[in-house]
Structure 1
Amino acid sequence: MQGLDVSQLKHLVVQPTLEALGLGGETAINLLTGTALAESRCAYVRQIGGGPALGLWQMEPATHDDCWNNFLCYPAGRRFSRVLQGMLGTDQPKSAQLVSNLRYACGMARIRFYRASEALPVQGTAAELSGYHKRNYNTLAGAADPVANTAFFRQAILS
């Protein structure tokens, strides 16, 4: 399966999106790029098998809505909500834009990670990023395999 060019996604979508949110840096950029690879292979915008996950970052609408209802509407999240609102189009509901709006979908995935109680990995190696993704984006019962997904995070780092 051929997906998006990973280097273009990393440098033309992920990096400027995270900078706009003020949540950038090399580790975060590699984490979000690797997450898109691990979750969708940078190719699928709807979950294979008919599940609810949407977009390259395969965020479920319930997770999306939780970010808005329990973080972005409160003082701690308002600075991020203003930036994310600026990324939104007006022709679709917010959660539908996880499919069609790369910047918004990336920004929401970063907010999901930002809300995690665990800090970003210090070294940011492929193995650390893959493990972090499993613990803080996927679920214990989820399909993500941190050993197998290490290759995706390595690709993100090298792109």
Structure 2
Amino acid sequence: MSGLNVTQLKNEIVRPTLNYLGLGGEAAVNLLTGTALAESDATYLRQIGGPALGLWQMEPATHDDCWTNFLRFPAQSRLATKMQQIAGVSAPTADIMIHNLRYACAMARIKYYRDSASLPDASDAAGMAQYHKRVFNSPLGAANALGNIPDFKAAIAA
């Protein structure tokens, strides 16, 4: 059971954030909503016993890598400007993901956006769970693609 209402998370945070970035669409909205459920049950703003931050549980090193090795390049200047606007500062730090749900969501979307594979179909919960495990969590991470299918089903249904 999640801390936030999943439909409100999806429609009040995820959808408008991704649309603002120009990286929306139903597949992305469902993927990001499901990721918040899989990572933190849409409840925790800090990982218990770990470094990850925000509902999407992104580690500060991953946040910084997104800026250093992707957003800082001229080809991504439009996205970087939008990310700064969402964060409310010109040099966003990882701790902003704790209190700014839109920024945390946007950073999670950037993490996925950097992957060259297409997003799974908007209604493919199993595909989203596998994609989440491969791209967002990594082979060494604790996520269980099979166990997370219900989270992505809930995101799709919300």
Q: How would you bin the TM-score normalised by the shorter chain? A: over 0.9
Identify which range, 67-76 or 33-42, moves more after superposition.
67-76
The one-letter code sitting in structure 2 at the alignment partner of 1:109 is A
Quote the residue 1:55 is aligned against. 54
> In the alignment, is the contact (CA less than 8 A) between 2:18 and 2:106 conserved in 1?
yes
- Structure 2 portions without partners, runs of 5+: none
Q: Which runs of 4+ in 1 moved over 3 A?
A: none
Q: Is 2:90 aligned against 1:114? A: no
Quote the residue 1:158 is aligned against. 157
TM-score by length of 1: 0.94
How many residues are treated as equivalent by the alignment? Answer: 157
TM-score by length of 2: 0.95
Q: Is 2:25 aligned against 1:28? A: no
Q: Is 2:135 aligned against 1:136? A: yes
The one-letter code sitting in structure 1 at the alignment partner of 2:72 is C
Deviations 1:86-139 (A, max 9, x none): 11135x952111110000000000000000122111354100110000011001
1:2/1:146 Cα in 2 relative to 1: closer, same or farther (>3 Å)?
A: closer
Identity %, equivalent residues: 57
Quote the residue 1:77 is aligned against. 76
1:100/1:134 Cα in 2 relative to 1: closer, same or farther (>3 Å)?
A: same
CA RMSD of aligned residues (A): 1.4
The one-letter code sitting in structure 2 at the alignment partner of 1:133 is H
Quote the residue 2:146 is aligned against. 147
1:109/1:79 Cα in 2 relative to 1: closer, same or farther (>3 Å)?
A: same
Structure-2 separation of matches of 1:44 and 1:89 = 22
Deviations 1:30-77 (A, max 9, x none): 0000000000000001111x2110000000000000000011010222
- Structure 1 portions without partners, runs of 5+: none
Give how far 1:78 is off: 1.2
Structure-2 separation of matches of 1:124 and 1:5 = 20
Quote the residue 1:18 is aligned against. 18
Structure-2 separation of matches of 1:156 and 1:66 = 27
The one-letter code sitting in structure 2 at the alignment partner of 1:103 is R
Structure-2 separation of matches of 1:117 and 1:2 = 31
Structure-1 separation of matches of 2:122 and 2:19 = 20
